[in-house]
Amino acid sequence: MRRTTKRRISRGVLYLIFIAAVVLIAISADWERLRANFLQTDIAREQLPDMITVAAKNTVLFTLIAFAGGLLLGVVLALMKLSTVLPYRWLAIGYIELFRGLPALLTIFGMAYVLPIAFNVNVPGGAVGAGLLALIMVAGAYMAEVIRAGIQGVPKGQTEAARSLGMGSGRTMFSIILPQAFRIVIPPLTNEFVLLIKDTSLLFIAGSTLATREITTFARDGVVNTANATPLLMAAMLYLLITVPLTRLVAVLERRMARSR
């Protein structure tokens, strides 16, 4: 048998397996029950306005706050980890290990309940404030490692050129190295952003009011109130509606940047 025919046949088999799997799933699923449980249009219509104006808005807002805070904290931690001052390095390493190692849920719980009891301090912003602070702390730990790798990915010659022009080490870092490092780490930072969108669903553990519910909490309440799972499917669609355009947009930006480089 010729090699091309062989290849064509093996590819055909792969297609067949794929089609068979799809058909099998489609006929074995109980569509009537699925529809009754997840696709009640009247419930969807009733839930949709608040789900967008309150829940989706909160999810986006919380994500933006946590990302901005995490980014700032991440830069500080990354610079500490690269510092020549040993205690700074230890502090950064300890912090990163701690908050990367703990589940975000526990950190949020700790900030919301343990901190007020242990130190008698309340984070401003109430439950949401405490939860967001916890998300910032966790995001900062993850982003610190990403940013550190980005900084180290900038060629050494860049530092040497800047220093040769008489720029100090701080100025070199902020004007020359960090802007280039951020370009390098756009893909992993996008990843971090998408993870954060989903991590906002953990904020419920800190407690939430009607006005501070994000998509998941809102949908869970919806399930209880309507005795139907339709809000969960809506929530899933909403998350995808946020994340997919975002990742596509970043991919386009990245391509454009690569072209101008």
Binding region for another protein (CB under 8 A): 155, 157-158, 160-168, 171, 175-176, 179-180, 183, 260-261
CA distance linking residue 107 with residue 97, whole number of Å: 13
Give 214: exposed, middle or buried? Use CB within 10 Å, 0-12, 13-18, 19+.
buried
Longest Cα separation, the chain: 79
14 vs 257 by CB, closer to another protein: 257
Smallest distance from the beta carbon of 182 to another protein, in angstroms?
9
Buried b (16+ CB within 10 A) or exposed e, 28-65: eeeeeeeeeebebeebbebbeeebeebbbebbeebbeb
Candidates 145, 182, 175, 183; CA nearest to 158 is 175
d(CA 67, CA 200): 11
CB of 39 to another protein, least distance (A): 49
How far is residue 74's CA from residue 193's CA, in Å, rounded to a whole number?
Answer: 13
Closer residue to another protein (CB): 50 or 254: 254
Q: Which is nearer to another protein, 124 or 166 (CB)?
A: 166
Shortest CB 85 distance to another protein, Å = 18
| Residue 132 C-beta: closest distance to another protein, Å | 32
**Closest to another protein by CB, 122 or 169:** 169
> What is the rounded distance in angstroms from the CA atom of residue 117 to the CA atom of residue 181?
40
* Own/partner pairs, 32-40, CB within 8 angstroms, 24+ separation: 37/228, 37/229, 37/230, 38/229, 38/230, 38/232, 38/233, 39/230, 39/233, 40/226, 40/228, 40/230
- Please, which residue, 49 or 157, has the CB nearer to another protein? 157
Work out how close the CB of 178 gets to another protein at its nearest, in angstroms, rounded to a whole number: 10
The nearest distance, CB 18 to another protein, in angstroms, is 42
When the beta carbons of 177 and 242 are compared against another protein, the nearer one is 177
User: 171 and 108 in contact (C-beta within 8 Å)?
Assistant: no
Least Cβ distance, residue 154 to another protein (angstroms): 10
